[in-house]
Homo-oligomer: A and B are copies of this chain.
Amino acid sequence: MNPVTPNQSSPGSSANAPAAPSAGATANNPSHSGSAAPASAGGAAPAPTFSPLYQQIKALITQSLQSGEWKPGEMIPSEVELANRYKVSQGTVRKAIDELAADNLVMRRQGKGTFVSTHHEARAHIRFLRLRPDEGQPHYPESRFLEVKRLRAPADVARLLDMKSGDATVYIKRVQSFDGVPTIVEELWLPGLLFKGLTAERLSEYKGPMYGLFESEFGTRMIRADEKVRAVLASAEDAALLHVEDGTPLLSAERVSFTYGDKPVELRRGLYLTSRHHYQNDLN
């Protein structure tokens, strides 16, 4: 299926060409002529809201990314090629890809092409980790896995992962260290169905960030995440793991990560020791 199908025929694709051959049916985007409901809160109609062409193209490309037609790290077809495939102008494809690049789903490289983003990259390692050393260059910590087991989802975990209480999950607990200094205690819950063969051994053997493993071995790519940060006191257990005293203040970060379609696929609860590190955030 080549041409754009989502909303009626291709809107305005042949109507404005100065020397277009066939005057053709200018059916065009029917838009909200006629009924259409106002955008008032709690409105009645489901609000069809016809999206612009480039948004439709963006959705089609996203589908291809999700379906694995182009894999992480691979090059996607050139703009010209995509324009031909979807029967739109290169400029429209360009605008679609611009947004995908802004969303970090693809990366453009002049002269080379557009590539599917991957978590296997120097810059990607730190993409979701906001903890930075107070002094020196940011770098990725070493992991030591304490527990990896299958678990039935507790109610709160299930709710955040959009599952049912008691559904199968994979539970992971680890400590991360910077230059040998334990700094992060982290617990993770993953949907059991998506991460069947995940074992402590595979995690330990794997070099690089966990999201790279998830992407390559389990076909689940994290796109974005929501994080809620608090200050808490270290429990006796956590304090021991971090080699600090009981009652040391720690940053608590609860992260829910999402894959394509805004589907939550990871819950992460981290405790950060912030005596020589800080949680970095840029506001704009």
- Chain A contacts to B: CB under 8 angstroms: 103-104, 127-128, 130, 223-233, 247, 249-252, 255, 272, 274, 278-284
Task: Compute how far the CA of A265 lies from the CA of B162 in the bound complex, rounded to whole angstroms.
Answer: 44
**Bound complex: CA A281 to CA B130 (Å):** 10
Judge whether A229 and B279 touch: CB under 8 Å: yes
Name A229's closest neighbour in chain B (CB-CB): B279
Question: Contact between A232 and B249 (Cβ–Cβ < 8 Å)?
Answer: yes
With a CB–CB cut-off of 8 A, which chain B residues contact A130? 281, 283
Could you name 20 residue pairs across A and B whose Cβ atoms are closer than 8 Å? A104-B284, A130-B281, A224-B282, A224-B283, A224-B284, A225-B284, A227-B280, A227-B282, A228-B278, A228-B281, A229-B274, A229-B278, A229-B279, A230-B278, A231-B231, A231-B232, A231-B272, A231-B274, A255-B283, A281-B281
Q: Are A226 and B283 in contact (CB under 8 A)?
A: yes
Copies of the polypeptide in the assembly: 2
Q: How far is the CA of A227 from the CA of B279 in the complex (A)?
A: 8
Q: A230-B274, A233-B249, A251-B229 are in contact. Are A127 and B279 (CB under 8 A)?
A: no
Most interface-central of A223, A227, A249 (chain B CB within 10 A)? A249
Q: Which residue on B lies nearest to A128, using beta carbons? A: B283
Residues of B within 8 A of A250 (CB): 231, 249
Which B-chain residue is minimally distant from A272 (CB atoms)? Answer: B231
Closest Cβ neighbor of A273 among chain B residues: B231
Distance of A231 Cα from B272 Cα, bound (Å): 9
A281 CB contacts on chain B under 8 angstroms: 130, 226-229, 281
Give CA–CA (A222, B190) in the complex, Å: 40
User: In the complex, A48→B187 CA distance in Å?
Assistant: 49
CA A229 to CA B131, docked complex, whole Å: 9
Residues of chain B with a CB closer than 8 A to A280's CB = 226-229
CB of A128, distance to nearest CB on chain B (Å): 5
